[in-house]
Structures are given as C-alpha cells and as structure tokens.
Amino acid sequence: MAQTVPSGDNTLLRDAIPVRKIGRVERFLGPENYRIVQGLMKTPASIAGFSLVLFFVLIAIFAPLIVPPVSKDPYSIPRDGFKSDPQPMGTEWKRNEPDKPFWFAITGQEKWTHIFGTSEGQYDIFYGIIWGTRTAFYAGLIVTISTLLLGIVYGSVAAYYGGWVDMIMMRIVDVLSILPGVLAALILAAILTPLIGKSTVPVMVALIAFGWMGYSRFIRADILSVRERDYILAARVVGVQDSRILFQHILPNAIFPTLILASMAIGDVVLSFAGLSFLGVGVEIGYADWGQLLSFARNWITSLNTYWYIIAWPGFFLVLFVMGWNLIGDALRDVLDPRMRGKT
C-alpha cells in the first residue's frame, strides 16, 4: 500500500501556515523585549509621552538658538530694568536685549518683545522657561540616576549578605522612609545652602539623600526572588564566584522593574526640585529654573487676574514636562504588567 511520506519541504504545509518573519531587531532583543518595544510604539499614551519628552529635549539642546544668552552665564535670566511690577506680554524689550535668533524673521516684528511678559523684577519669563528646561533635565537626570545607583548598590549589598546585615540595613531604610520626603529634603537643603553656597547642588544633594530608599527596597526584593531561581543554582554548581553571580547573573535579571520605577520618577524629581526652588531654597535669584519663575509669582497671588501670565506659562511647561514622563512611565507599566497583556 502506497503511503505518502511527508517530505521536508512540504509546499502545501508551508503555504497553509504563514511563517512569521523574525526581523533583526526582534532577534537581537528577544521576543519579550521586542513585544515591550512594540507595545511602547503603539499605545497613544506612550506616543504622547515620548513626543512631549522629545519636545523638551529639543528645547534643551537648542536653547542657545531659541534665545541667545545675554550675559556670560546663560543660566541667569536677563532683566529689563528693576521695576517690581510684572510687565504684560508683548512689552518692548529695552535693556539686556538678546540677539535676534534665526526664527525672529518669521514673527515679522522689528524689535524683541517679552513674549511671555516679565515677572516681578522684570525677569524675562520666556528666557527663563527655555533655559529652565536645561535645569529641569539636569536636575531630574542627575538626581534620578544618583538615587538609582545608590539604591541599587545599597539594596544589592543588603540582599547579597542577608542575615543581620540585611536586617540592619533595611531598618535604616525604614527609618528614613518615615520622614516626609520633601520636608526632610527642604530642611537638609536649607542647612546645606549656607555651607555650599546658592546653586542647584544643595537641593540635588538633599533630594538624593532622601530619594534612594524606594529603589533599594525594590531591587532587594527582586534580588531575593531571583536568587532562588534554578539558573542561579546552576551557576553555583558550575563554580562561579559569588560576586560574579551577583553582578552577572542576578542583577541583570532583577534590575528591570527598578529601571521602570526610575523612569516614572524623573517627573516627580523635577516637581520636587521646582517645589523647593519655589520655597526659596537652593538656586540664587534670577537662575533659570521653573520653580524660581513660579516663586516670582508668590507676591502677586492676589492679583493674578491681571498678572496671570507670570504663573500660567512656567506652570504650563512644568505640567507638560511632568506629564510627559508620567505618560512614559504609565505606558511602560502597562506593557510590562502581565494582566494588561493583549488589552491595548
């Protein structure tokens, strides 16, 4: 009896089942990471988030082209006189006028005006916002990366040594976590400012000092879970040194959730930074920083119906910036949450 033997290249079968092409990117990233990247490129929230952040990145990079710096220190906002009242939008710029940038021709105007008006003391709001974007990135990234590194090292050491070392280290974290973060940072920054001098440093140091505990808890928990996996036992069976197991085998498997957490935190850090700056801690008066611009509006809170622009524009940009990072964080969480799978 004749039997059909399935041959290796069964064309019928090949046509029936469409073979999914695996591109180079997918091969490189692996299916799981590829799915994450794809998910991030498809959700509206993450597109909006990434666009916003990209928008601010461009502003920060091209700040000197958008508003050329006036004095030697580009971060000091130029003042058009010393009047205490804020001047409305479109007021002509008389003193300390910046050079006309490339885009000025489009406006059809002949003279620089205060596009977003001036704040109290006649600081130019537009200039402050554009250059303040750099401060926001600078502070946000440095604080987040430092807290992240500090938290990861601390948490890894605690998880790695375990036992009473872990106990003591994590109790210290518990104690520090009890303190209300921004208030503690405010006090530390207020103590540090006279010692270091007015700049972005005291506030950043204070935010780092009270910001790392969350990461250390997070990474510790993940390390403790990864430590019990079979492949870690397999690595020990092969005779890999403990330190190498921690850094080569455990950390790469445990670090991802912590990185997501950090990406969500950048917006919050910038907000705290602006908040401290608004309260008058940290940078010297006239430094291009959004919190500083907002603090100029403090004395005019009762007459904001006239001077709305002194708070609306810096506030608007701050909100957009924080929202951008939060949208990215939300999108990352959605893509990584197994319960949300297949729902977007």
Q: Are the C-beta atoms of 317 and 235 separated by less than 8 Å?
A: no
Piece in contact with other proteins (CB under 8 A), picked from 43-51, 229-237, 275-283, 310-318: 229-237
* Closer residue to other proteins (CB): 41 or 234: 234
Torsions phi, psi for 287 (to 5 deg): -75, 140
Q: Is 234 in the site for other proteins (CB under 8 A)?
A: yes
Query: Of 13, 25, 30, 191, which lies in the binding site for other proteins, with binding defined by CB under 8 A?
Result: 30
Determine contact, residues 145/261, Cβ cutoff 8 Å: no
Residue (of 277, 231, 270) closest to 253 by Cα position:
231
| Of 62, 161, 231, 247, the one binding other proteins by CB under 8 A | 231
What is the rounded radius of gyration, in angstroms, for the C-alpha atoms of the chain?
27
Q: Does 235 bind other proteins (CB under 8 A)?
A: yes
Q: Does 229 sit near other proteins (CB under 8 A)?
A: yes
Note whether 336 binds other proteins by CB under 8 A.
no
User: What's the length of the chain?
Assistant: 344
Minimal distance, residue 251 CB to other proteins, in Å: 10
What is the 3 state secondary structure string of 30-56? HHHHHHHHHHHHHCHHHHHHHHHHHHH
Picking from 283, 338, 302, the residue whose alpha carbon sits closest to that of residue 136 is: 283
Among 208, 249, 290, 327, binds other proteins (CB under 8 A): 249
Q: How far is the CB of 23 from other proteins (least distance, A)?
A: 14
Binding-site member from 4, 195, 230, 342 for other proteins (CB under 8 A): 230
Among the listed residues 14, 94, 171, 236, the single contact to other proteins using CB under 8 A:
236
Compute the distance between CA of residue 202 and CA of residue 185 in angstroms, rounded to an integer: 9
Contact 252, 262 (CB under 8 A): no
Query: Which residue from 107, 109, 225, 248 is in contact with other proteins, where contact means CB under 8 A?
Result: 248
Q: What are phi and psi of 162, to 5 degrees?
A: 60, -165
241 makes contact with other proteins (CB under 8 A): yes
Q: In this chain, which of 5, 32, 106, 195 binds other proteins, going by CB under 8 A?
A: 32
* 24 scored as a contact of other proteins (CB under 8 A): no
Binding site for other proteins (CB under 8 A): 30-32, 229-241, 248-249, 252-253
